[in-house]
């Protein structure tokens, strides 16, 4: 058994059974080893940013890591933006990066670069495997580091000779995949202070993020908020938020700093649950970056690496018991839109048609601003946000989510400008026959930047500045682009056409794309 064969078998032993890859020569033994480990699913991407984003989407849905396989420093470089987003999402990922054989590294061959330094930017664990005998142990360490909590990117660099030499082993994990630790014991002091504040019934809010936006923790914290009369706020871009009729209603903190300050004004206590105290996404001249009132007291009851459920139970024991009267979203869908298509019409149609159990990968940006509202009363679904602000996440995350949950419909709500960073994801959707409906919100500009130009006080932009934010010269043709990647596509310029195309796309298996032409918001 060579090192590479040990790696793939060890991944399976540790419960990692999916690898998103864009390999090169230095990873060929790992590719060849796929035939010795038939349960490890290799998913080919045409670009590394697709592979890393897909691993993020996969982790958000399954809660467990996929592996990636990338080609040396440049391959890792291409994957960094979506690893940045994954880092912000606290997604566990086992990031495998091939390297030159150890003796080859000092020779400064063309592809030589400093992989470890690149990896540190996005990883909590970075190791370069030194021996074939130790390689599978390194894999287990990477898997453990990725799981956390908090979940994180663990990067294992594998020199080619460490893969190809004989002496590989199948390492057995000490911890079963279902017995992983639930995190550090939470600090008592902030929990007690938060309990006192909540009992005091001042103007108090919970701010949830990370693991607190779905599953048992989400229900617990919603009940706590109701019992204590506190507001339930959610970070602006949660990694995975459970929504829809019957789910707790949460107020998301606005992306726009001025709106967020208004939302938070008057707050006396903010109880952070897997979230950080809110700051504006960007800084703006003469505006504060910190968004809470200066006299608001912050209580961090669960940090990202803490045992979240233990923290919530401890807090629960400190506040008055009582009924869970938490506000729940009521069932309700908007009517289908009519007439010329715009961002509002797209939102209405999605709200009318969103299937039960859908997963929405939201990189809709400006053109997607109404969709949250229009789907609030739709059947229950998961919402995956752009966590780290590095655009080009939406399509890969949708791809990874669809691999993770083959029986659930996935909708990629995708701004046109952002789609073009990682549009290669469409090809893998076609290759794997994934049930992803991509909706391109074609406003044909970097619309958010037109707004930001004004926000940052850059004055009235001249024609040369405006040209740098404009995508009409030439206008992208997403129907042709999708066809190029093997995905069937259509264009909608009226609300009726969009609704009909969306209905058809959701009904048919496999991927499809709709270019929704939206010259205006309303």
Residues of this chain, 445-504, that bind a copy of itself according to CB under 8 A:
448-449, 452-453, 455-459, 461-465, 467-469, 471, 473-486
Residues 136-175 that bind a copy of itself (CB under 8 A): 160-161, 164
Tokens 């294992």 -> residue: 156
Q: 240-252 b/e with 16+ CB inside 10 Å = b?
A: bbbbbbebbebeb
| Cβ-based nearer residue to a copy of itself, 320 or 454 | 454
| Cβ-based nearer residue to a copy of itself, 428 or 499 | 428
Q: Residue 323: count other Cβ atoms within 10 Å of its Cβ.
A: 8
| Cβ-based nearer residue to a copy of itself, 89 or 245 | 89
Query: At its nearest, how many Å lie between a copy of itself and the CB of residue 28?
Result: 5
Tell me: does residue 78 bind a copy of itself (CB under 8 A): yes
Q: How far apart are CA 7 and CA 98, in angstroms?
A: 12
> Rounded to whole angstroms, what are the CA distances from 66 to 35, 106, 157?
18, 31, 16
DSSP state of 109: -
Query: At its nearest, how many Å lie between a copy of itself and the CB of residue 245?
Result: 29
Query: At its nearest, how many Å lie between a copy of itself and the CB of residue 159?
Result: 9
Tell me: does residue 237 bind a copy of itself (CB under 8 A): yes
| Cβ-based nearer residue to a copy of itself, 32 or 310 | 32
Stretch of 27-35, 169-177, 292-300, 353-361 lying at the interface with a copy of itself (CB under 8 A): 27-35
Exactly one of 55, 118, 296, 404 binds a copy of itself (CB under 8 A); that residue is 118
Query: At its nearest, how many Å lie between a copy of itself and the CB of residue 264?
Result: 15
Structure tokens at 72: 């040396």
| Cβ-based nearer residue to a copy of itself, 263 or 455 | 455
Q: How far apart are CA 522 and CA 168, in angstroms?
A: 61
Residues 260-289 that bind a copy of itself (CB under 8 A): 276, 279-283, 285, 289
SS3 231: strand
- With CA atoms as reference, report the closest residue to 445 among 478, 413, 469: 469
| Cβ-based nearer residue to a copy of itself, 237 or 498 | 237
Exactly one of 1, 12, 32, 506 binds a copy of itself (CB under 8 A); that residue is 32
DSSP state of 494: B
Beta 241-243 vs 381-385: how paired, if at all? Answer: antiparallel
Query: At its nearest, how many Å lie between a copy of itself and the CB of residue 351?
Result: 27
Residues 421-450 that bind a copy of itself (CB under 8 A): 421, 424, 427, 430-431, 448-449
Stretch of 25-33, 174-182, 346-354, 372-380 lying at the interface with a copy of itself (CB under 8 A): 25-33
Tell me: does residue 364 bind a copy of itself (CB under 8 A): no
Residues 314-343 that bind a copy of itself (CB under 8 A): none
Contact 228, 198 (CB under 8 A): yes
Tell me: does residue 12 bind a copy of itself (CB under 8 A): no
Contact 394, 365 (CB under 8 A): no
Give the ranges where 63-131 is alpha helix by DSSP (H).
72-89, 115-120
SS3 126: strand
Per-residue binding letters, 379-418, with a copy of itself (x by CB under 8 A): --------xxxx-x------------------------x-
Exactly one of 114, 295, 323, 407 binds a copy of itself (CB under 8 A); that residue is 114
Tell me: does residue 81 bind a copy of itself (CB under 8 A): yes
Burial (CB count <10 Å: 0-12, 13-18, 19+), residue 475: exposed
Residues 204-223 that bind a copy of itself (CB under 8 A): none
The dihedral built from the CA positions of residue 378, 391, 412 and 433, taken in this order, carries a sign that is: negative
Q: How far apart are CA 52 and CA 49, in angstroms?
A: 5
Tell me: does residue 44 bind a copy of itself (CB under 8 A): yes
Contacts with 135 (C-beta within 8 Å, 6 or more apart), sequence order: 3, 6, 7, 129, 158, 162, 163, 168
SS3 157: strand
Tell me: does residue 17 bind a copy of itself (CB under 8 A): no
Q: Residue 66: count other Cβ atoms within 10 Å of its Cβ.
A: 30
| Cβ-based nearer residue to a copy of itself, 78 or 499 | 78
Stretch of 110-118, 242-250, 333-341, 349-357 lying at the interface with a copy of itself (CB under 8 A): 110-118
- With CA atoms as reference, report the closest residue to 48 among 67, 75, 11: 75
| Cβ-based nearer residue to a copy of itself, 27 or 144 | 27
């Amino acid at each position: 058994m060579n090192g590479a064969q040990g790696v793939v078998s060890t991944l399976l032993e540790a419960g990692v059974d999916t690898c998103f890859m864009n390999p090169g020569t230095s990873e060929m033994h790992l590719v060849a080893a796929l035939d010795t480990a038939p349960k490890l699913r290799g998913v080919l991407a045409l670009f590394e940013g697709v592979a890393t984003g897909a691993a993020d989407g996969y982790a958000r849905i399954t809660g467990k890591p996929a592996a990636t396989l990338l080609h040396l420093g440049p391959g890792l470089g291409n994957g960094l933006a979506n690893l940045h987003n994954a880092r912000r999402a606290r997604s566990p990922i086992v990031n495998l990066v091939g390297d030159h054989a150890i003796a080859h590294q000092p020779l400064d061959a063309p592809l030589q670069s400093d992989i470890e330094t690149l990896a540190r930017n996005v990883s909590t664990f970075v190791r370069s495997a030194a021996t074939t005998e130790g390689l599978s142990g390194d894999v287990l360490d990477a898997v453990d580091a990725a799981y956390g909590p908090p979940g994180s990117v663990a990067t294992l660099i594998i020199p080619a000779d460490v893969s190809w030499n004989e002496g590989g082993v199948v390492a057995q994990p000490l911890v079963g995949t279902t017995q992983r630790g639930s995190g550090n014991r939470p600090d008592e002091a902030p929990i007690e202070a938060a309990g006192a504040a909540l009992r005091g019934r001042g103007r108090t809010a919970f701010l949830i993020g990370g693991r607190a936006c779905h599953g048992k923790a989400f229900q617990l914290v919603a009940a706590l908020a109701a019992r204590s009369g506190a507001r339930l706020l959610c970070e602006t871009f949660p990694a995975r938020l459970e929504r829809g009729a019957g789910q707790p209603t949460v107020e998301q903190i606005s992306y726009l700093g001025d709106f967020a300050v208004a939302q938070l004004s008057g707050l006396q206590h903010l109880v952070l649950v897997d979230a950080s105290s809110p700051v504006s996404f960007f800084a703006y001249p003469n505006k504060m970056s910190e968004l809470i009132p200066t006299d608001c007291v912050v209580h961090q009851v669960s940090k990202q690496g803490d045992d979240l459920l233990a923290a919530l139970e401890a807090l629960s024991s400190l506040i008055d018991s009582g009924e869970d009267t938490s506000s729940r979203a009521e069932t309700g869908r908007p009517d289908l839109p009519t007439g010329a298509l715009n961002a509002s019409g797209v939102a209405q149609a999605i709200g009318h048609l969103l299937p039960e159990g859908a997963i929405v990968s939201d990189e809709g940006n400006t053109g997607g601003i109404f969709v949250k509202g229009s789907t609030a009363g739709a059947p229950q679904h998961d919402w995956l946000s752009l966590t780290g602000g590095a655009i080009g996440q939406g399509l890969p995350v949708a791809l990874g989510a669809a691999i993770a949950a083959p029986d659930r419909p996935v909708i990629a709500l995708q701004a046109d400008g952002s789609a073009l960073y990682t549009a290669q994801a469409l090809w893998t959707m076609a290759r794997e026959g994934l049930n992803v409906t991509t909706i391109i919100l074609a406003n044909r500009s970097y619309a958010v930047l037109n707004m930001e130009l004004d926000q940052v006080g850059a004055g009235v932009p001249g024609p040369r500045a405006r040209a740098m934010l404009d995508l009409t010269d030439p206008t992208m043709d997403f129907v042709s682009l999708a066809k190029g990647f093997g995905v069937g596509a259509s264009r909608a310029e009226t609300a009726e056409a969009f609704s009909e195309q969306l209905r058809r796309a959701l009904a048919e298996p496999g991927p499809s794309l709709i270019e929704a032409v939206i010259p205006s918001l309303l």
